[in-house]
Structure 1
């Protein structure tokens, strides 16, 4: 931050080289950023979030339409802005042809508006729209009302960087009275406020340059001397101007032409006070409707046109001293630009559009990563919740309900195969990002699957027709009946470790007691034959006579009674070994 400069002396300026250069910067890649945002959103939706197909396509359509609409609106706005600013950008390109593209954003750029801009921007080859000095780029705004449009065009020309300040040129000799000057100041103040609003930023730093002949001696513009204050902070008090006047008095006493220098200092003290009361007050008064202008500097120079009889400052001097000032000769053009005023120009934060786009791209990637982490965590929670629900359902199904238990087991096997596939081939994107926890469920699934025991096989039963084995009412095997028991013998030999139950049944003809005795005797006869034929110990056999208590058909018919007269040989699967 620079301190106040009591006496300001500018360095020599140089004229811009001829030629023409590109005047359109790359600017902020808005369409590229919209495309990137849309692609990241779609990637998160389809690869990580993975909603239902209907919802995914709906979101895709909404994002695509929104992106296309934003790109269209942005393109239309740029086309419209470039059309409105084409003349300004062309003039800037011609005036700053020798400035590298990157330097235009690094050099301060100051808008100049107010009085006698033709004299300030006059050059041997004619008037210029812009002037490139050693310390800044100066751009003229012939009408204060043009400031908003020029400010927007310059921001576009400088790749998004707004102008660094506005200099208001005030030539008291051009105004017939104080009211005309006040009206001009109000217009300038309103224009600066409108420009800041169009730029969407805080008020632009302001500087006031007063061009007024202070003495009747010829002005030496070879080394023009500015008197004023330039600060990196807003000017809020008058003490800085007083210190500047005292410094000017000290310099004047040591000057070679002391009488002229002292007269200039006396006039300077008068015009500084007038500037504070008339100009600065009008620009910063909070009672005015427009936003107060933030002033960071004010300067005066013994330069200007012939002062009229009703010059506002001359009229004030006459009213206070009753002495009419001597007329001084007008200063020939070009008049010096107030370059010393902006030496302490406050630094305004700015980032190039490419860096801004890079920062925004990183922010978009960070947002996409955050959403990816969020959805991946949700997907992993859903996976574990599904596996836990399947394990819980399997554990609550009784072993007797084998069909339901097998269905639940199939779900566990599918879950185990899914986790095994992830372990072999890699975790899919929607479960990754360090959130995958499915490996912890593998032991639980393996234990549950291994705990399944199929139900015992149903007993093997061979049913023999009693009439093919025995005569009616008899319990002795008939000759040739053993051929009917060959199948039962083969079954018993195939499973020698099983217990064999031989049960006899009759129809309802006869008394229940005789029927039960007959059925038991027939079962004993079949058992004895099987023991002899198989060599299996008798302890592995059991007999049972049920008589007519367990019919399998209707005893009212001959066919039904024939079915009920039977002997059943059953292998009991859970019998202990002999």
Structure 2
């Protein structure tokens, strides 16, 4: 069988949908990596499972219905591909199917192309769902147009056996409708010899009801349609004159219509049954069928109501006519190419993905602005004195500014795009905040001199030749002529504390005087301070420790307002009021 059309591209649509979901999840939506990765893995697993399952289902369905589809393809080989999708295709199941399909002595056939429809034989009603799916694929996504249930009363031993067969057919039709996603109009064709005339068995016609709307209610409650069928038979009997066959057929037709309502239509449409009621669009009767005697359900029904036993009749010669008149008023469904349907679904998915992308981009942009705003607020609320915290906040601002600048140079990433990007508006605010930062002055530069290399013990006059030790401090002062200089003296704890304090101040003054004379810097830029033995840097319990504590420190002080704190000394001297100035 040539398969030029593959129906709805389910697997391609699954892959397309999964690709959109992954792109949104990983590139656009405001989802953290910790959640996005497992969700993306789940999407991939589900997609692969769906593709594999669909492939297995299609292969299994193809294998199960290979002979049916091969026969259908061979039967319709002469039909154009476009015609086989537009021409009604009816599934036929139920009784006496060989008599309906074996024509012209050409052996058992599964399919038959009539003047108005393609008829496909389904021997087992339980196969209706699988055959329906295969037909839908063969017809380029168009489901079968209906199901004909062939009922031969003489083929059933009792009403109970017939009711059980009807329940099975009803359940199968319900399953097929669910699997196909489309309603399957039902048609009941009753094959029963109504007369004993050999001519009637050869040349018979259909009597019945067919409509473009459901006939369930009509068959149960609208007697006018059924009366019209019986009147048509009675009219034929009147026109036949003395011929007894039409009159006998009219009488038998009235009886079998009542039996059909009770024994066939009831089990198929009873809402109390587990399966969904089978919607019927047509019901017909024909004076044609298998051999019948008093044991058939219909014959027993006649005997129960009238005490009349119908005579036995022989089987009609094959082939029996297919119920073409029943489907002439069948409802027509609008058919759309599955590829066109897939395109519409793809467009709808793209529109939905676009809406999600815009929503996700808006969320990402809001997060960007919120983060920059939070960093700005944190930087502005940190006191100037807390420079380490301000530097950390400043680094966050610089990172925000660099990120936005990178977007401006290299392009905005997808997660911030879709017309939602607002980063350019915050760039001037970040630049202003970054430029407002002023680093604190560096710590004072300090030169420490050993007092014993400058002064004799207990003295405050510079020893001859000791000025070489002051050359380093002099060079530092000359490099920064605009800085103020603090000269501080320190002693060990040997001796009286007051004497040590006075000695430390005197030694600081001696060093200050030499520096003023050697550097030419005004004395107003100098300050002296004596700490005595109050600030040891080593233990006074050892000779080496006491040697370290006897020192003179020369410190460059950054420019500051007039009141410059010089460090919590027991005796602090402002620069303008320092001793010796």
Determine whether 1:449 maps to 2:434: yes
How many angstroms apart in 1 are the aligned matches of 2:471 and 2:126? Answer: 120
Q: How many Å separate the matches in 2 of 1:142 and 1:471?
A: 129
Listed as ranges, the matches of 1:179-198 within 5 Å are: 180=158, 183-184=161-162, 186-198=164-176
Shift of 1:315: 8.7
- Are residues 1:416 and 2:401 paired? yes
Structure 1, residues 256-276: CA drift from partner, whole Å, max 9, x if none? x66379984x55653443233
- Of the two structures, which has the highest relative contact order with CA contacts closer than 8 Å and spacing of 6 or more? 1
Structure 1 residue aligned with 2:211: 231
1:308 Cα deviation after fit:
6.2
Q: Within the alignment, does 1:200 sit opposite 2:178 as a pair?
A: yes
**For 1:75-95, what per-residue CA distance to the aligned partner results, in whole angstroms no more than 9, with x for missing partners?**
333333222212111111111
Q: 1:270 to 1:193 in 2, by over 3 A?
A: farther
2:65 alignment partner, one of 85, 97, 100: 85
> Could you tell me how far 1:567 is from its partner in structure 2?
3.9
Q: Is 187-196 or 130-139 further displaced after alignment? A: 187-196
Q: Structure 1 residues 356 and 282 mapped into 2: Cα distance closer, same or farther (>3 Å)?
A: farther
Alpha-carbon RMSD:
4.7
Measure, in 1, the Cα distance between the counterparts of 2:122 and 2:443. Answer: 104
Aligned to 1:495: 480
1:283 matched to 2:261? The reply is no
SS in structure 2 opposite 1:229? strand
Within a 5 Å distance, the mapping from 1:252-263 to structure 2 comes to 259=241
Other-structure match for 2:138? 157
| Residues in 1 aligned to 2:158 and 2:529: alpha-carbon distance in whole angstroms | 134
Residues 309-318 or 333-342, more deviating:
309-318
Q: How far apart, CA to CA, are the structure 2 residues paired with 1:319 and 1:489?
A: 139
Q: 1:47 to 1:353 in 2, by over 3 A?
A: same
Q: Could you tell me how far 1:97 is from its partner in structure 2?
A: 0.9
Q: CA deviation at 1:468?
A: 4.8
Q: 1:57 to 1:329 in 2, by over 3 A?
A: closer
Residue deviations 1:58-82, cap 9 Å, x none?
Answer: 5565555544444444333333322
Which secondary structure state, in structure 2, belongs to the residue aligned with residue 200 of structure 1? helix
2:414: which partner in 1? 429
State the partner residue of 2:572.
none
Q: Is the 8 A contact 1:461 1:568 kept in 2?
A: yes
Match of 2:556 among 562, 571, 575: 571
Instruction: Structure 1: give runs of 5+ residues left out of the alignment.
Output: 1-20
User: Do the aligned partners of 2:259 and 2:298 also contact (CA within 8 Å) in 1?
Assistant: no
> Aligned with 2:92: secondary structure?
strand
| Structure 2: distance between partners of 1:468 and 1:403 | 40
TM-score using structure 1 length? 0.75
Query: How far, CA to CA, are the matches of 2:518 and 2:333 in structure 1?
Result: 113
1:122-521 to structure 2, matched below 5 A, reads 123-124=103-104, 126=106, 128-141=109-122, 147=128, 150-170=131-151, 180=158, 183-184=161-162, 186-200=164-178, 204-209=185-190, 212=193, 226-235=206-215, 236=217, 237-246=222-231, 259=241, 264=246, 269-285=250-266, 286=270, 291=275, 292-301=277-286, 334-348=319-333, 352-358=337-343, 361-362=346-347, 365=350, 383=368, 387=372, 390-391=375-376, 394-395=379-380, 397-434=382-419, 436-470=421-455, 475-477=460-462, 479-507=464-492, 511-521=496-506
Count, aligned residues: 550
What is the alpha-carbon distance in structure 2 between the residues aligned to residue 570 and residue 170 of structure 1? 118
Q: Distance in 1 between matches of 2:285 and 2:549?
A: 134
Structure 2 stretches lacking a partner, 5+ long:
563-575, 577-581
Distance apart, 1:345 and its partner CA: 0.9
